[in-house]
Amino acid sequence: NDNPRILAIETSCDETAAAVVEGGKNIISNVVASQMDIHRRFGGVVPEVASRHHVENMTAVIEEALVSADMDYKDLDAIAVTEGPGLVGALLVGVNTAKALAYAHNLPLLPVHHIAGHIHAAELVGNMAYPAMALVVSGGHTSLIYLPEEGKYETIGETRDDAVGEAYDKVARTLELPYPGGPEIDRLAAEGEVSIDFPRAWLENGSYDFSFSGLKSAVLNAVHNAEQRGEKLVPENVAASFQASVVDVLVERAERAASEYEVKQLIVTGGVAANRALREAMRHSFPSDGEVELIIPPLSLCTDNAAMIGAAANIAWKKGERAGYDLNGEPGLAL
């Protein structure tokens, strides 16, 4: 069967998600229950709280995904689930649910890597072509991944300290903005000017790695030093200057990687790919009449969701990879 209907489940962080995807391409249904409002009170994701909310919401989210797909278990060919990486307690809820459903309905179980999921979100909006390069930018990850062919992943660069989304969230906290900070900084920066020259961590020649902790500290120091002088920096300008520094580095790395590896496509995905300045800068660097095709999934497929897990699961399906009933959540799973 080349067009399997897969029920996909994702619970690696703070979104409880289920989707039905056909042939790794067509979204039949896509349901996400966000816990954002709950975690906002704590200023970040509290793992224990996330797990408990997954337990509460999981069944209803799956039910909704099936009802809106107008399907029952007999219409499905497989169950897919995020195996890792992520918060262990959160992963366990999805993994255990998927195993129980696969067992009860005698369906094959497909294990999916969360980052492979983010990358294959591209398949839901375009046709992936290889070799490809993916820039995955989220609250937990900042990675450049080379895909020589379907199902093969080589991480050529990653962050040595903070993930880019983490830097956004920390800078937002310094500016006393609510969690998650990314969208807040995005909004503020649009009204500001790049008036402060924050550092750009280029690292050693030729490196594809990233580092954002120096930039984060520079923003913190600038804000605090101004306070000590009895001044207040214009938050819009701090946001715009910080964002300019981030975007410069991400675009430089993506351009260099795409040209050195002679890829056909560049995929930019993960929560931070929702950022307007980043999207615009990438579109400018990779114009539609250029050699490298740029795919940036729409916002709802960039942030955590289960449709992307269904898309990536199709590769396991084709290869005949199946998980056993001993499948476990793997918080540090390698790609």
Annotated binding site: 114, 118, 136-140, 169, 182, 186, 275, 304
Name the nearest CA neighbour of 38 among 25, 27, 51: 51
At closest approach, how far in Å is the CB of 320 from ligand KG4?
28
Tell how many helices (H) and how many strands (E) occur in the chain. 11, 10
Q: Binding of Zn ion at residue 10 (CB under 5 A)?
A: no
Judged by CB under 5 A, the number of residues near Zn ion is: 2
Name the nearest CA neighbour of 94 among 108, 79, 78: 79
Distances (CA, A) of 333 to 82, 84, 204, 220: 10, 5, 28, 33
What residue 235 binds from Zn ion, ligand KG4, none (CB within 5 to 8 A, per partner kind)?
none
Q: Binding of Zn ion at residue 304 (CB under 5 A)?
A: yes
Q: Which is nearer to ligand KG4, 5 or 253 (CB)?
A: 253
Q: Which is nearer to ligand KG4, 5 or 141 (CB)?
A: 141
At closest approach, how far in Å is the CB of 155 from ligand KG4?
16
Q: Which is nearer to ligand KG4, 133 or 164 (CB)?
A: 164
At closest approach, how far in Å is the CB of 234 from ligand KG4?
19
What residue 265 binds from Zn ion, ligand KG4, none (CB within 5 to 8 A, per partner kind)?
none
Segment interacting with Zn ion, rule: CB under 5 A, options 28-36, 39-47, 131-139, 239-247 = 131-139
Segment interacting with Zn ion, rule: CB under 5 A, options 37-45, 205-213, 239-247, 299-307 = 299-307
Q: How far apart are CA 9 and CA 87, in angstroms?
A: 15
Segment interacting with Zn ion, rule: CB under 5 A, options 248-256, 288-296, 298-306, 326-334 = 298-306
Distances (CA, A) of 38 to 216, 271, 306, 319: 26, 18, 20, 39
DSSP 209-276: -B--HHHHHHHHHHHHHHHHTT----HHHHHHHHHHHHHHHHHHHHHHHHHHTT-SEEEEESGGGG-H
Residues in Cβ contact with 273 at an 8 Å cutoff, skipping those fewer than 6 apart: 135, 137, 279, 296, 297, 302
At closest approach, how far in Å is the CB of 193 from ligand KG4?
18
Q: Binding of Zn ion at residue 138 (CB under 5 A)?
A: yes
Q: Which is nearer to ligand KG4, 24 or 270 (CB)?
A: 270
